[in-house]
Amino acid sequence: MEGIPDRGEVEAALERHSADYLEVRLDDTATNRIVYRGRELEEIGRTRSFGGNVRALVRGGWGFVSFNEPTGLREKVEEAVEAARQVGREASMLAEVEPVIDSVPQDLRKDPRTIPLAAKKRLLDGYNETMLSVDGVTSTTITYYDGHKRVVFASSEGSYIEQERIDVVSRLSATARKNGDMQQASMSLGALNDFWYVETLEETARHLGERAVELLSAPYVKAGTYPVVLDPILAGVFCHEAFGHLSESDFVYENERMKEIMVLGKQFGQPHLNIVDGAAVPGLRGSFKYDDEGAAAQKTDLIREGILVGRLHSRETAGKMGEAVTGNARALDYRFPPIVRMTNTYIEPGELNFEDLIADIDEGVYARNWFGGTTSMEMFTFSAGEAYMIRNGKIAEMLRPVKLTGNLFTTLMNIDALGNDMDFNQGGGCGKAGQMPLPVSNGSPHIRIQDCVVGER
């Protein structure tokens, strides 16, 4: 692979060392990026980067060295070992994994590398004009990105893994203004190894422009506590942000309060609630065969029949907590060590159709799409991209975007019904410890929550 040393050189660099464990990760990435603000093309271009890192474990301490030049790999190994030796003070604890030798090709659909950059620009030009042509839309933003990544992982335990992937991500946003008032409608989309969806966004662009204008005349919600139905996108974001991060075991291991709260076997929801994370779910942006420690991807039950049954691990957190490795050690790129991260996090579907979910709601709120949000321990605030009143079991008037606030654990218990539909949001990127945006997906059916606090965004 271009820019990456051959296997023999990599494996030779890992021989004859004094560390408890060693690994090398090499990363060759090529990206395309196009950004519009209104009719101004703000950015267009290609980038190419190569880099790598060595991570060494000595007496429980980690040494980490990153680099851009592939030469002198043995010296970089020695530097990482010496750094680990300076901080190691206890026994090294890594859960065991079987060494793997494998080459994982891309499962390509429509390869964005076959589409000229000029053709991508023409396509986005059209979407931008579609949004701007809607009467009342005064500005737009479009961000497009595709990145082809080749990664080699090798360890002192004998693993040697090559993996490839292509991320394709786009975000479209339209802003409408009238008499000093401003409203925005946006949509983030993404795919793994597939450009096809980018060619299908004409109606999405028109809808966003029209929705931004409609919001200018929509009323505000009357703040209060309502039964709320979330669409799969917003429910998936809730699952990821409010619950998924609390399932990352480094957070639990390092936080005494979370150790008391996130106790396996504790009831967190009603018996119909099942929450899962797993890169072994195929074809999503959070999918892969091996994580960045060479552990095989799998699906991990987090909540099963309302009970907390699992959490997400790296080899180190699994070793320290005496639990199984889950394949959730991930790094954004060669500049960072792997840490515990989500992959594809989702609520499993139930049995009700959408009409049944809202049929017995006299007055409630239907919240769709996501705009933003914050979490602090178990407290959350999320902003929906669009919202409607539910009256007498029917969808009624459109509202201006709303925010939902509450306690995660109370809210999980208040999920009293699940739809039989299922969808994944693939347009987001997860941030943690300075590593952002890491490709993830989150999903859900429609869900119904009783007694949710709703206010203006």
- Whether 24 has a pLDDT exceeding 80, the answer reads yes
Delimiting residues of CATH 3.30.2290.10 domain(s) in the chain: 7-215
Q: What is the mean pLDDT of residues 80-96?
A: 95
The answer to whether the CB of 275 falls within 8 A of the CB of 310 is: no
Query: Which pLDDT score is estimated for 2?
Result: 52
pLDDT greater than 50 at residue 410: yes
Residue 457 has pLDDT above 70, yes or no: no
Which amino acid belongs to residue 96?
Answer: E
Per cent of the chain over pLDDT 90 is 88
Query: Stretch 314-337: mean pLDDT, rounded?
Result: 96
Mean pLDDT of the chain: 95
Summarised one tens digit per residue, pLDDT across range 105-131 is 888 999 999 999 999 999 999 999 999
**DSSP character for 211?**
H
DSSP symbols for 24-38: EEEEEEEEEEEEEET
pLDDT at position 257, please? 87
The pLDDT tens digits for 41-55 are 999 999 999 999 999
Whether residue 437 is preceded by a cis peptide bond, meaning omega within 30 degrees of 0, is yes
pLDDT 10s digits, 317-328: 999 999 999 999
* pLDDT for 349: 97
pLDDT digits (tens, 9 = 90+) for 350-394: 999 999 999 999 999 999 998 877 888 889 998 998 999 999 999
At 39, the pLDDT band (50, 70, 90 cuts) reads: very high
pLDDT of 1: 43
Does 7-215 carry CATH code 3.30.2290.10? yes
Residue 378's pLDDT is 85
Q: Tell me: the pLDDT tens digits for 197-227?
A: 999 999 999 999 999 999 999 999 999 999 9
DSSP-assigned states of every residue in 122-162:
HHHHHHHHHHHTSTTEEEEEEEEEEEEEEEEEEETTS-EEE
| Residue 121: per-residue pLDDT | 97
**Burial category of 417 from C-beta neighbours within 10 Å (exposed 0-12, middle 13-18, buried 19 and up):** buried
Residue 195 has pLDDT above 90, yes or no: yes
Confidence at residue 376, expressed as pLDDT on a 0 to 100 scale = 80
What is residue 373's predicted lDDT score, i.e. its pLDDT? 75
pLDDT of residue 17: 86
